Amino acid sequence: MSMNRILSVGVVGLGYWGPNHARIFNNMRGCRLGALCDLDPDRIEKMRLRYPDTPCFVSFNQMLEDVNLDAVVVATPVRQHFSLGKAALLAGKHVLMEKPMASSTAECEELIALAASRGLTLMVGHIFVYSTAIQMIRKIIDSGDLGEICYINSQRLNLGVFHNDINVVWDLAPHDIATILYLLGRAPGAVNCQGHANITPGIEDVANVSLSFDCGRFATIQSSWLEPRKVRQMTIVGSRQMIVYDDVEPLEKVRVYDTRIERPPYDQTFGEFQYAYHYGDSYVPRLEQIEPLWQMCQHFIDCSISGAPPLSGGESGLEVVRILEACSKSLQANGGLVAVADAPRILRPLSGVMKTQRMNGRKPGVFVAANVV
């Protein structure tokens, strides 16, 4: 595909994320907003007023047939991801799927194989790996400043939005799982998951997930739709330094603490044995204020044009769904330890750092992906 090609992008699903995708693709270089689709006529009417030159549809198949699209964004409930993504790939469209990629690993594997057989880009909306905050944390980890990673603790809590088709783990935890996998560069070997359904019988609205890695590392994820305040926080504890990432903070999202516990190399008697607590300074690294969704969408356009593998491609989506399936099995086993299928795996991290540019002095621009190793 020509690097000068302008891609026409359609968006299906105009609930929460779909309108955000439409806003970005309507203003982004290298593409144009080609069509919009939703089953709800009221949503269609609102979007038609906002984008009067963009054709709107209540039928996805009609959108694929009537408009010459190059790519499709699937931003519907997860139960529709597989059927819509498959239809788009069969129609020869590049596809960006919102998280989670699909309802099962079998569906993910079929979509990956279909995209590969047709030379199409398949990408999953793991938005936080495109944030400058997570990219900075990854850079600090790769530098070795944190030392050995001991554990990661993540909290994603708020009041609602409640769903009647998926539980809180499938709704909120994919963000944390994808981020943890990206930071550690490997998949867990087993998971524990405990949860409780307080509002809707059979649909857990609060849950705790534990990820166990073969390298001895450990991560925990707390998810809830029943919290009085919005919490988006992750703590990364290393043997030398520690990081607190707070996505709710408008500016100082990442803070690095020169804090650690030092164990003496040996002890002769109980009285001589003491832990040393090191309390150093903390600092806030400078972050570019660029919308992660813009970064992600620009990366999708760039990969669709160039054929380069996306940072959050189909394999990344499959990895997260594997873990979600193990979480579901653990919930059914009252929190028992469940092995993750095909684990352990060393993932393929990028050998480089995300770079950004600003177009015309105002718009966030190019995501430059390094080679995959």
Tell me the CATH number at 198.
3.30.360.10
In angstroms and rounded to an integer, the radius of gyration of the C-alpha atoms of the chain is 22
Q: Which of 212, 206, 105 is nearest to 157 (CA)?
A: 206
| Whether residues 227 and 273 fall in one domain | yes
Residue at 293 is within a domain? no
Residue 321 inside a domain? The answer is no
Does residue 28 sit in the same domain as residue 75? yes
Residues in the chain: 373
Answer yes or no: do 136 and 269 share one domain: yes
113 and 139 in a single domain? The answer is no
Whether residue 23 is found in the same domain as residue 99: yes
In this structure, is residue 308 part of a structural domain? Answer: no
What would the two tokens of residue 246 be? 């707070």
Same domain, 241 and 220: yes
112 and 159 part of one domain? no
pLDDT at 108: 98
What average pLDDT does the structure give for the chain? 89
Q: What is the pTM of this model?
A: 0.89
Number of domains in the chain: 2
Q: Which of 283, 309, 340 is the last residue of a domain?
A: 283
CA distance linking residue 75 with residue 54, whole number of Å: 18
What per-residue confidence (pLDDT) applies to 214?
84
Tell me, yes or no, whether 33 lies in a domain.
yes
The CATH number assigned to the domain holding 39 equals 3.40.50.720
Q: Supply the pLDDT for residue 29.
A: 87
> Is 314 within the bounds of a domain?
no
Final residue in a domain of this structure, among 283, 315, 345 = 283
For residue 365, being part of any structural domain is answered with: no
The parent domain of residue 209 ranges over 129-283
- End-to-end Cα, the chain, rounded Å: 24
List the pLDDT tens digit at each of the 373 positions of the chain. Answer: 555 679 999 999 999 999 999 999 999 988 999 999 999 999 999 999 999 999 999 999 999 999 999 999 999 999 999 999 999 999 999 999 999 999 999 999 999 999 999 999 999 999 999 999 999 999 999 999 999 999 999 999 999 899 999 999 999 999 999 999 999 999 999 999 999 999 999 999 999 999 999 878 899 999 999 999 999 999 999 999 999 999 999 999 999 999 877 666 665 555 555 667 777 788 999 999 999 999 999 999 999 999 999 999 999 999 999 999 999 999 999 999 999 987 666 774 433 344 543 333 334 433 333 322 2
| Per-residue model confidence (pLDDT) at position 372 | 25
**Contact (CB, 8 A) for 108 and 321:** yes
Can you tell me the distance from the alpha carbon of 179 to that of 350, in angstroms, rounded to the nearest whole number? 14
Whole-angstrom CA distances from 136 to 126, 141, 229, 316, 359 are 16, 9, 26, 20, 22
Q: Is residue 10 located within the same domain as residue 114?
A: yes
In a domain, 346, yes or no: no
Q: Looking at residue 343, what is its pLDDT?
A: 63
Q: What is the pLDDT of residues 154-206, one digit of tens each?
A: 999 999 899 999 999 999 999 999 999 999 999 999 999 999 999 999 999 99
Q: Does residue 271 share a domain with residue 172?
A: yes
Within a domain: residue 315? no
Residue 284: alpha-carbon gap to chain centroid? 24
Largest alpha-carbon pair distance within the chain?
Answer: 81
Say if residue 112 is in the same domain as residue 211.
no
Closest to 167 measured CA to CA, from 125, 188, 191, 195 = 195
Query: Does residue 134 share a domain with residue 278?
Result: yes
Assess whether 61 and 174 both reside in one domain.
no
Distance CA 258, CA 51 (A): 50
Where among 85, 120, 155 does a domain terminate? 120
State the pLDDT at residue 224.
98
Per residue in 13-36, pLDDT (tens digit) is 999 999 999 999 999 988 999 999
